[in-house]
Structure 1
């Protein structure tokens, strides 16, 4: 059963989480019960007809746990950099195989694949990097398994960090604090219903097929393509944001304050602001573990001197990787390059604006213009991302 897709899933959630809620209200955590209920919901997601995915998840988890403990044991020995690089490569290898396999097997998915493999990989790589940095000095088997297999977020995030998760998982929550968490949880869950089952249904199920058919019937560029662009953008946002709200809300019920994924992205004033608001746990993960480390490496090795050039290389690398992660098709790669160029241009504009701030007006009109421009830049990127242009011009 796909998480957060079926009304039955929510009924089972309510029944399964009730003892956890009662325990929390009495400032107690029922660890054994949490483990049992987590296992049952994982079985619900990866069992039955999806038993192959379940086996892949088990094999993947064992492999990554051995890797985490292996790196923890050998990180301070000779050739520490080589051991670190090998650990990171091995950690992402299953994901790479899953992403590349369709190219060589007539579009079939790899038997190693399962729902949520990307997000588990991000968690593992983050842990390995923080072990190398000395931030994580030891890991508890039960706690790291709970972190990796935390069922509310396993399929599509949000992406949590080990130390932040552990801080919530280990502490007992006072009743007053838990009431506040429940209040937020209920709000997020009901908002998720509005987003996913009403607005996403309207844009994605009712409107999108009709607009798509009209755009294809006209052939080439037309105003129907523009309409498709906006409708698809709305469907993408409300569907994914709705799912994320469910995941955060259920996490809150379990006493874990999983980070939010979206923060009003369509009122962003520039493309950098957009990536600080859109799929935030993913964009912050890429920023912290790829962009910042690449920039630091270039500066440390003195491969380049110009800071602007270093930042631009970082942006291009970052968004190319993000594009490839979404899929090995031209429109995902172009989507990544598009955002890299947009951020490079945005940086150049911000530097120019700072240098000539006295001559450039700043008022409500210019802010509205900035929001409008950013919104359209982003929506066009989603048109590329959708693959609709491939159908329109190349099929």
Structure 2
């Protein structure tokens, strides 16, 4: 069997179309063939992790068994209330859930030649799902947890490699219901639309900016790297070309995942909502990679700030929010990688978030000082888009290559 990268190979889409036909037929007759969906998902997981990625497939199996044990052990501990639900047990469950991801992320620092035993495509997004289950279990939001539904949620193949990141209760609500014929026709229409738009984004616009323009700008920027600090118009071209490539490639992939999910009767949340039309950085993170942004917001930022408030670590709410931003984006940067430019990328966004909050407070106190009209809105959008593109230039690692080669 041929190993296929999700949404990359035309053959993958061919298999996908054939496999979805029984799902579509069943849904049109208001029936969900769960047994078929299970076999269908297993087939595509084998496609993804077969051949040269078989070791990743074995790692996925081991990882799934481990995370299942962690999630169910904590669920049974939490639901069998004997007045012993200690906070340290919750922390232990969270730590155990993220241990495989931590091993994968930090193994290259100590042994660059050998990948981690847990390394496989999509481990980050699966880990976020499990941590979400543990945290919602602690909150009392998850009342029941079954092995089959846990596996269906965790290994839902359209989103396994790069999201979007769904929430367990929302997913199971869709999985348990069968939409009416009229509801499914609407979902089918949206699904096909998303897939077609995904083709435009990923294979046309993503190819234009990532394959045709970006290498040329990078080459010209390398030739002009002796300019002061390497600043040149080709470098500006790299900044814009990479930013647009990153958006269209990732948004295209997300549209494929959402589109296939819709066809399967699962309304997976969208991941991008016109992020380059944001008027400040806070709005940008409400529009860019939304499921990841909201996951970090809900499970890291909000809980960290609540912890500080509960233990009265800081008196100032502003200081707590600012420290929360630093922790949030530092974690996000390190999650992307341990190199300096990912960490600087995270700290850059934390700094801009802090400055944005300060600016919004100033505007609120002095409303008469700052006009608000279409012109100022457009200027805010332009400034935000350029600031984001600059952060993506840092994120790309090209400045590291430019500096390293130019030494």
Whole-Å separation in 2 of the counterparts to 1:134 and 1:240: 34
- Superposition CA RMSD, Å: 0.9
Structure 2 counterpart of 1:310, from 302, 316, 320: 320
Matched residue, 1:223: 233
Displacement, 1:357? 1.1
Matched residue, 1:340: 350
SS in 1 for 2:369: coil
In structure 2, relative to structure 1, the CA distance for the partners of 1:107 and 1:307 (3 Å cut) is farther
Number of residue pairs the alignment of both structures matches = 395
Matched residue, 2:39: 36
Verify: 1:362 aligned to 2:368, yes or no: no
Displacement, 1:106? 2.4
Structure 2 counterpart of 1:186, from 168, 184, 192: 192
Verify: 1:17 aligned to 2:20, yes or no: yes
SS in 2 for 1:241: helix
Matched residue, 2:55: 52
SS in 1 for 2:121: coil
Structure 1 counterpart of 2:214, from 203, 208, 215: 208
Does 354-363 or 148-157 show the bigger shift?
354-363
Whole-Å separation in 2 of the counterparts to 1:336 and 1:93: 22
Verify: 1:7 aligned to 2:10, yes or no: yes
Verify: 1:140 aligned to 2:146, yes or no: yes
Displacement, 1:107? 5.0
In structure 2, relative to structure 1, the CA distance for the partners of 1:209 and 1:108 (3 Å cut) is farther
Whole-Å separation in 1 of the counterparts to 2:216 and 2:303: 45
What are the within-5 Å matches in structure 2 for residues 234-313 of structure 1?
234-313=244-323
Whole-Å separation in 2 of the counterparts to 1:169 and 1:353: 46
Matched residue, 1:114: 120
Displacement, 1:306? 0.5
Displacement, 1:111? 2.4
Report Cα offsets for 1:141-171 as digits up to 9, x if no partner.
1111000000000000000000000000000
Contact 2:57–2:120, Cα closer than 8 Å, also in 1: yes
Displacement, 1:34? 0.5
Whole-Å separation in 1 of the counterparts to 2:236 and 2:52: 40
What are the within-5 Å matches in structure 2 for residues 149-160 of structure 1?
149-160=155-166
Report Cα offsets for 1:241-284 as digits up to 9, x if no partner.
00000000000000000000000000000000000000000000
Contact 2:77–2:85, Cα closer than 8 Å, also in 1: no
Normalised to the residue count of structure 1, the TM-score between the two structures is 0.99
Normalised to the residue count of structure 2, the TM-score between the two structures is 0.96
Displacement, 1:108? 3.8
Whole-Å separation in 2 of the counterparts to 1:123 and 1:359: 45
Displacement, 1:137? 2.0
Verify: 1:327 aligned to 2:333, yes or no: no
Report Cα offsets for 1:17-76 as digits up to 9, x if no partner.
000000000000001100000000000001122110000000000000000111112234
Which consecutive residues of structure 2, in runs of 5 or more, have no partner in the other structure?
none
Displacement, 1:79? 5.8
Whole-Å separation in 2 of the counterparts to 1:155 and 1:269: 31
SS in 2 for 1:358: helix
Matched residue, 2:111: 105
